[in-house]
Amino acid sequence: MHKVPVNGRLSITSLRAEYYNLTVTLADHGARIASWAQPPDGQGISQTDWDAVRDQLLVEITYADATRNLFANYGTFHMELFEDDGFLLNKLISDAGMTVDGGSIVQGIIFAVVDGLTYAGLSAMGGEFAVAGNLMQMGVEVGEAVGSSGAISPDPFQVTVSELWNQLSTSFEALLDGMGVLENAILQDWGKLQSLYAMTQQQSGGDSLYWDPNTTGRLVRAARIGYTRSALQILLPVKYQIYHWKGLQDLPESIMWQTDGSTYYIAEIANYDAYPTEDMMDQDVWSTGVSRSDFFRDSADWGFITSTEIGNVWFVLTFCNQTPNLVRLTNSTTGSLYVSPFQRVSVNFDKEFGCQYSVTDQNNNGKEVTQFKVVQLEDSFYITSPSAVSGYCISQPLGTQGFVRCPPAGQITLSLG
């Protein structure tokens, strides 16, 4: 009942409505309220009641200002990270030996890109870097809900290389819109303001939202590492595949990994002598902390077609489980096997006319979540009729022709969405 004299003296309708009016400087209101040591005359308000109301409003303003500052810092970070209008992405396209105006089709999932930014680039570094990652995850959840155009979508996308920046930037804009919705909701809810304020204070722990504006530049540099990694996970599988050969091959160090007496290396699809450049592999891949085991064995969101000469096989299917759940891959002729979270398996089999596959989620009572069929046509590998139930995504399948030493190969990826 004591808000009326406060609002009147500030010449506003509602002080609390000012919290989410970002055109208003709350500190100005706070300075005026703090200067009112005495209750207004003729209102019948005791000094004790007046002090309690004034002090409560000053606390609310402090909390609202902290929330505004947090989201303002995020806005600065977001704009600096993505303000290059695709320059970094275009550089990575060039580094990968592709052209921006090429007709190659790339595919990806926006959630995976954001995960790369937040976990690989930010949260994984801990401490001060976790704040931006935590905020981005919240913004994605809100952006998915409010994006009427489906800009932040759990579904895989397929676009030409020339359209990739437009695809990503639309989602980045939706992410920023989601941040605005999130900020507005917090500023209108006293309970949320209290909770957020506690998290914005300097503290240890992965849930911290403490953000020193002086760290914004370091946050941007860290996020670009995750952005680089995520972009290459979209680009490289279009042009390159992994080859797994017997023995220790004499190859450039930058493009290979040797383990268990055999060699994995990356080269162009259907041309095992054409490698990505040493500069690209060293600067864009290994320098960002990518594990060679993850890269060459399709873990941690890496997913390449893999062709192998290990064993007496003709077709090689690589199935990538990019979900946090244990899944079971079953085919119609040879049985089934389990695939651990964020791992892949290579399934080798002789020439057949076709094989039906089913995938069940063992963390979801063995529910069947996807089906697809592998077929052979001469020396080529095809994956047909992929489908997934709601809550899961199956990637556009990839397949190659066989040639000297390398049997036909294919790759398909399951993710949540």
Q: What is the DSSP letter of 403?
A: B
pLDDT interval class at 3 (50, 70, 90)? very low
Q: What is the distance, to the nearest Å, from the Cα of residue 11 to the centroid of all Cα atoms in its chain?
A: 45
Q: What is the pLDDT of residues 190-221, one digit of tens each?
A: 999 998 888 888 766 556 788 877 778 888 88
Average model confidence (pLDDT) across the chain: 81
Which CATH architecture best describes the domain 314-417? Sandwich (2.60)
The helix (H) or strand (E) run that includes residue 76 is: helix 47-82
264's CB contacts (< 8 A; 6+ apart) are 242, 243, 244, 256, 257, 258, 296, 297
Q: What is the pLDDT of residues 331-378, one digit of tens each?
A: 877 678 898 887 777 776 655 556 888 999 999 999 999 998 887 666
Is the per-residue pLDDT at 2 higher than 50?
no
Structure tokens at 23: 């055109």
The pLDDT value given to residue 128 = 65
Question: Using CA atoms, how far apart are residues 188 and 199, in angstroms rounded to an integer?
Answer: 17
Structural domain spans, the chain? 68-234, 314-417
Q: What is the distance, to the nearest Å, from the Cα of residue 274 to the centroid of all Cα atoms in its chain?
A: 30
306-308 and 262-268: which strand pairing? unpaired
The pLDDT value given to residue 108 = 76
Question: Using CA atoms, how far apart are residues 330 and 337, in angstroms rounded to an integer?
Answer: 7
The pLDDT value given to residue 148 = 43
Residue with tokens 């320098």: 287
Strand partners, 108: 157
The pLDDT value given to residue 308 = 75
> Residue 179: how many CB atoms within 10 A of its CB?
21
Q: What is the pLDDT of residues 266-317, one digit of tens each?
A: 999 878 889 999 999 999 999 988 999 989 987 777 878 887 766 555 667 7
The pLDDT value given to residue 276 = 94
% residues pLDDT > 90 (the chain) = 20
Question: Using CA atoms, how far apart are residues 236 and 227, in angstroms rounded to an integer?
Answer: 14
Q: Which of 184, 240, 207 lies closest to 71, judged by CA?
A: 184
Whole-model pTM: value is 0.74
403's CB contacts (< 8 A; 6+ apart) are 270, 379
The helix (H) or strand (E) run that includes residue 60 is: helix 47-82
Structure tokens at 146: 């409010």
The pLDDT value given to residue 66 = 92
The pLDDT value given to residue 256 = 96
Q: For the ranges 34-43, 57-66, 72-81, which has the lowest average pLDDT?
A: 34-43
Residue type at 361 in one-letter notation: D
Name the CA dihedral angle for 203, 71, 189, 15, rounded to a multiple of 10 degrees. 110
SS (H, E, C) 117-134: HHHHCCHHHCHHHHHHHH
In 83-215, where does DSSP find H-type helix?
87-95, 110-115, 130-146, 164-187, 190-200
Given a contact cutoff of 8 angstroms between Cβ atoms, the answer to whether 301 and 324 are in contact is no
Q: What is the DSSP letter of 12?
A: -
Length of the chain: 417
Q: In sequence order, what DSSP letters do the residues of 238-257 get, joined into one string?
A: HHEEEEEEES-----GGGEE
Given a contact cutoff of 8 angstroms between Cβ atoms, the answer to whether 254 and 281 are in contact is yes
